[in-house]
Structure 1
């Protein structure tokens, strides 16, 4: 590996660098100049000094394009500020972060068709594909032909309950997952369990025996022929009230997550569709957009938690800025402490935009919207303020992590509410992913050092402690046999939120 890639965070197995020390060093004087410009011109409107500084570094761009970049930075930060205030107000009224996030999604999708709204929430696409793959494994034989067994509707019902349960669990962030216990070519054993629900550690918490007979009398007879102690009884919707024993029409986890009910006629219809080659896959309209949005909101929060463990950006900032004399550090410190730091965020975003357009920061492509860069800067600076409070004891670890989540969730929700579709999605991907974590860490560390030795010492101490705690949590969870990535991040979040205090 070349010297250029010293002190980097790797993006993938191909050793693609996210953050490169030499690139950050090249960006360093640009940061100083932009922050200095804000310090010297902080009484002027932001668009005046920001446009002038952008034009100075990007003279090849026409004045109207420079003005558009400046306006986009300012508008994006204003949107993020308003979204954070909206989320904080909602939480003070008793709402959850996820509920607020869902309302932002509703705003964005209110004018969309069902198909457009579905596409907008397509991060559940992989889960849907897995669900359908499992269903197809059930309805096809080893030779790839459709099984013509008239009892196929019973097997399809089992898969239907398991997969609709899993989709709902994914959408709401539940740790639980359902599995159909298939025979693997040896045939079904007598009294064998049909469906199980497992927790995030793979432990079975519920067992179900499914009987999808033509009517309640036949279903009762089927249950009486076997010994199903320890198993809950799953039956077609509409038959439960005609049976002399307790029966369920959905499978349900301890946290209340359920599958969708399915009656006998619906199961037969699915069977007929499968056997005729007219199988209709599960589609987005089967699931409530609000439930999906809540799940996505949780994932945004998890991203904030995971990002807190990525400290390489802070490490690079510490190496480059330690001992550096900063013009106006008292002004920067006062602005951060008081919250009057809009200009710092704008200056930071402007410097990073210049670095991107000049090809200095290679991980962010040239032409990346200024709004994307502004959102990374906004989150980075908000996060470093929270980390400072955590280190000084002004807030606990749990309270700090909640604040970090709020910032990412509110910024993401604000982007979605702007209704920019794919563009918003690309920004969210950059913001919540490894690029946002690494570059954001460098930005946060840079601003921390620019605020003076007292602030930077507190921030560095806070970053180290946060990283240690979050890393310990991640390692603890990963040491257990957790099957899915969603289970991992859910478990990390739950473990961290419920156990640690600063």
Structure 2
């Protein structure tokens, strides 16, 4: 079930547009009067460049962007200080998570940890599979940004219906990402017959129709949002199509739940607010283990992100053959680490590019703070790559620092929830973990590197390609460690889906 999915995360043309935006905004920032604060500059940028934004939204997004940058920098300083004291990045994040849990019931806290740990593990496996198929780290397939949990719920409500009717059927979420691949397969275990389903949930009927027409889904039944069903069926009927289109799965009389687009977007949040996995009896010891597991997953994601070269490759292409004079502010930021201004400009550029739909693999509704964190990761990673290229850091130490950067981002997301109910603030970053984060940070880092001058850009690109191979090998070992801890691919997500089935009323 995918929305705004193409064969690549971002095209070279789109990347060039982002490059020109960054150049424009960088010059604007440098020319601003010293009396204009970063917050005022961002507000004006958002109001000018994003036509549909209100004054209040521009104000809030500017504040959230700056708060996120400060939170990120504070966390990175904290995690680096902890490393000097011999505290691992995984332990640092586990401590951060536990700090945010003050006042929560153990079962509520444990349930949230379990679901997040499952999802992060799933994202690690998706990225590992993508890297396995792409020896150079240049992954091109788009990832389902937020559909995995929804697909499992849709499938599991059907399977549960069959169970209640004593039907011997199985529904499997395939989690295959090749072109025209099957989303869900229902199998009659008595006869061996099966039925394939394709889930398409666009933002409206027109968008869903477009998603359907992009592929070839012969021999698959199409499942679409309930509120869009009539319009979609009427459209294809008028074209003489014989496609089977429905708003639910019906497997030999086992009918699953119908969902609207809004339902799908809210399923994860609703499930968390109303109780995940109520059958689990969590103890303080279990929650400590889960917090550590989340830290390990975050660290592995950082390693695997370093193994993805897609963003760096695109950045190299859009600057290829172009002699770039160093921008002093960018050059100083990369070489000395004095980078707050560059992070502000980069976060502002990314926010505009996302809201305008130039960068389509990041949803437009992504909170400004999450976008700012992505910008921060990209900037920090390019600084690390440049240090490796200069011989200031070894490959091993550089990769450890890259892992800290991603873990620091995760810590910021948890810290934002302290004293509040776990919900959207906690989970809104998760769909971007994996391929999307790796591509975005690679593109940002590579682009900013070239604005620091051709020598820096070329050095970062060359070193990024070398680091990718080392990161990939280290990540393999780390992934084996996660698996040996008792994980099984997909099991966490499936059990999560089953638990929410009971919440939905079966």
Does TM, normalized by the shorter one, top 0.5?
yes
1:280-325: CA deviation from partner (whole Å, max 9, x where unpaired): 9653337431221111101101001001111011111111123446
Corresponding residue to 2:77 among 56, 64, 85: 85
Matched, 1:64 2:52: no
Please say if residues 304 and 404 of structure 1, whose CA atoms lie closer than 8 Å, have aligned partners that are also in contact: yes
C-alpha spacing 1:100/1:469, structure 2 compared with 1 (3 Å)? closer
Superposed, 1:334-413 pairs within 5 Å as 334-413=332-411
Distance 1:337 1:41, change over 3 A: farther
CA contact (8 A) 1:36 1:328 kept: no
Cα distance in 2 between the residues matched to 1:42 and 1:92:
40
* Offset from partner CA, 1:209-252 (integer Å, 9 cap, x none): xxxxxxxxxxxxxxxxxxxxxxxxxxxxxxxxxxxxxxxxxxxx
- Rounded Cα–Cα distance in structure 1 between residues aligned with 2:107 and 2:10: 38
User: TM (normalized to structure 1)?
Assistant: 0.59
| Deviates further, 108-117 or 79-88 | 108-117
- Paired residues of 1:300 and 1:432 also in contact (CA < 8 A): no
Q: 2:87 aligns with which of 95, 98, 101?
A: 95
Q: Tell me which of the two structures has the higher relative contact order, counting C-alpha pairs closer than 8 angstroms and 6 or more residues apart.
A: 2
| Structure 2 residue 41 is the aligned partner of structure 1 residue 41 | no
Q: 3-state DSSP class of the match of 1:288?
A: helix
Q: How many residues align?
A: 326
CA contact (8 A) 1:39 1:328 kept: no
What is the Cα deviation at residue 115 of structure 1?
3.0
Q: Is the 8 A contact 1:17 1:363 kept in 2?
A: no
Cα distance, 1:475–1:409 mapped onto 2, change above 3 Å: closer
| 1:379-458 alignment runs, 5 A limit | 379-419=377-417, 421-458=422-459
Aligned-residue Cα RMSD (Å) equals: 3.2
Seen in structure 2, the aligned counterparts of structure 1 residues 414 and 300 have a Cα distance that, compared at 3 Å, is same
Which is worse superposed, 420-429 or 70-79?
420-429
SS in 2 for 1:310: coil
For 2:20 and 2:331, the matched residues in 1 are separated by 19
Paired residues of 1:84 and 1:410 also in contact (CA < 8 A): yes
**What CA deviation, in whole Å up to 9, does each residue of 1:417-466 have, x standing for no partner?**
22163334434424532101001111111100110012112101211111
Q: TM-score if structure 2 supplies the norm length?
A: 0.59
Pair 424,456 (structure 1): closer, same or farther in 2 beyond 3 Å: same
In 2, the alpha carbon distance for the partners of 1:451 and 1:97 equals 30
1:55 alignment partner in structure 2: 47
2:282 equivalent in structure 1:
284
Q: Aligned in 2, Cα 1:470/1:42: closer, same or farther, shift over 3 Å?
A: farther
CA distance in 2, matches of 1:477, 1:98: 12
Relative to structure 1, the CA distance from residue 30 to residue 125 in structure 2 (aligned partners, 3 Å threshold; closer, same or farther) is closer
Structure 1: gaps (5+ residues): 1-10, 128-142, 145-279, 489-502
1:105 counterpart residue number: 97
- CA deviations on 1:375-401 (whole Å, 9 max, x unpaired) are 000011101110111121111011001
Counterpart for residue 123 of structure 1: 116
Aligned pairs for 1:472-483 within 5 A: 472=473
The answer as to 2:13 corresponding to 1:19 is no
Structure 1's 88 and 21: CA in aligned 2 closer, same or farther, altered over 3 A?
A: same
Give me the whole-angstrom Cα distance separating, in 2, the residues matched to 1:328 and 1:40.
Answer: 17
CA contact (8 A) 1:304 1:432 kept: no
Structure 2 unmatched ranges of 5 or more = 122-165, 168-277, 490-506
Distance in 1 (CA, whole Å) between partners of 2:487 and 2:107 is: 25
* Displacement of 1:45: 2.3
Structure number with larger C-alpha Rg? 1
In structure 2, the residue corresponding to 1:109 is in which secondary structure? coil
| Contact 2:72–2:412 (CA under 8 A) maintained in structure 1 | yes
Distance 1:282 1:53 in 2: 48
Contact 1:372 1:431 in 2 (8 A): no
> For 2:393, what is the secondary structure of its paired residue?
coil
